[in-house]
Structure formats: C-alpha cells, structure tokens
Amino acid sequence: MVLEKINSHRIILASRSPRRKQLLEDLGIRFEIVCHDWNEDYPEGLKGSEIALHLATLKAETFREQVKDGEIIITADTIVWCNNKVLGKPSDEQEAIGIISEISGNTHDVITGVCLLSARRSRSFYSTTKVTFERLTPSEIEYYVRNYRPYDKAGAYGIQEWIGLAGCSHIEGSYFNVMGLPVEKVYHELQLLAVDEID
C-alpha cells in the first residue's frame, strides 16, 4: 500500500489550521490533532525561510519530552514575506486592508517551514512559493476583508478564496504551500522518516 508505512505510525498534526487538516485528509493520511499554545516570537535578524523554520522547529520542541516510539509530530508555520518584511495575521479590519493593499500589484513569497519529529530524530524543511497579485481597487479589498474576515491567515488572505480567484495572476511553486502546507514535500519526507523509524 502506498501509505502503509506512514499510516503504521501515530501521526499527530500540531496545528489548528483547517486548511492543513483538509490537505492531510485529502492526502489519505490518518492523523490526530494535538495543539499547544506557542510563543511565535523569533530573534531579530532572521529573514524569510529562517523565520518559518525557526517557528516550526520551536513548535516541535514543545513535544520533545512527550513524543513516543511510533509517533510522528508535524508542526508548521507559514509566513508571507513582502518588501523584505513579514506580513503577519491581521488583528482587525483596518490592518487586514493595509496588508492586502501592500500585496496588491506586487509579488511576495509565501514560505512554510515544517518540522517532523519522532522519538529518535527530526526532519526540517521549507517550501517557498512566489505569488503575484494584480492591482486591486480599495473597494475590492474592502469587499474581501468584510466578507471573508481573513484574520487567521498570514498575509491576510486565503488563495482558495475570492481574492485568489479575482486577483492572483501568477504562482511560481506549490499552490498548496500557499494554502498552508506543501503537502508533496510533507508526503515524501514522511515516507523517508517512516522508513527510517521502521529500520
């Protein structure tokens, strides 16, 4: 069976993201969700992929003393990197409008860091997707924010929602990474880790 080695383990997704949950389900992986509360601060001076990897690894480390033989923890963190800075999750409508206004008519990087942790080892990696948006009008931006309330999303948008359909003109890299998880990389890295664990 294609997924036999992976599904012979207890897979734990340490994420509250409904998009990550859906992507793993669509991949056919059996998993549970267990979440901790995380501090998402990172050292000054880190950039782009360094931030995403640092945060994903930090999340995994909170499970270090708990992970048992036969278990694999998946942690992830997605950031939007634009104009040499992070565009995070907006706290309110005005901040969401401001973030999308910066993305509008611009190209940005969506970077997801992932850490797979077992009792014996860990594997960390990241995926970067370049996303270009056409220039959106203020009324289009306000329409999206008020109707979709993207306050739980890095960069204040979901590529699978209205704004992606209406505004995204070019993607270079994994579409699923923009949704929050580079599932093709996760699948292959899980296969490698699962084989290592069995051996």
* 8 Å CB contact between 133 and 168: yes
* 8 Å CB contact between 80 and 155: yes
Tens digit of each residue's pLDDT, the chain (199 residues)? 679 999 999 999 999 999 999 999 999 999 999 988 877 788 889 999 999 999 999 999 999 999 999 999 999 999 999 999 999 999 999 999 999 999 999 999 999 999 999 999 999 999 999 999 999 999 999 999 999 999 999 999 999 999 999 999 999 999 999 999 999 999 999 999 887 765 5
Residue 122, beta-bridge partner list: 117
Cα separation of 71 and 118, whole Å? 6
* 8 Å CB contact between 149 and 85: no
Give pTM, 2 decimals.
0.93
| Predicted pLDDT at 175 | 97
State yes or no: is 77 an active-site residue.
yes
| Predicted pLDDT at 49 | 96
Active-site residue among 77, 92, 152, 196?
Answer: 77
| Predicted pLDDT at 157 | 97
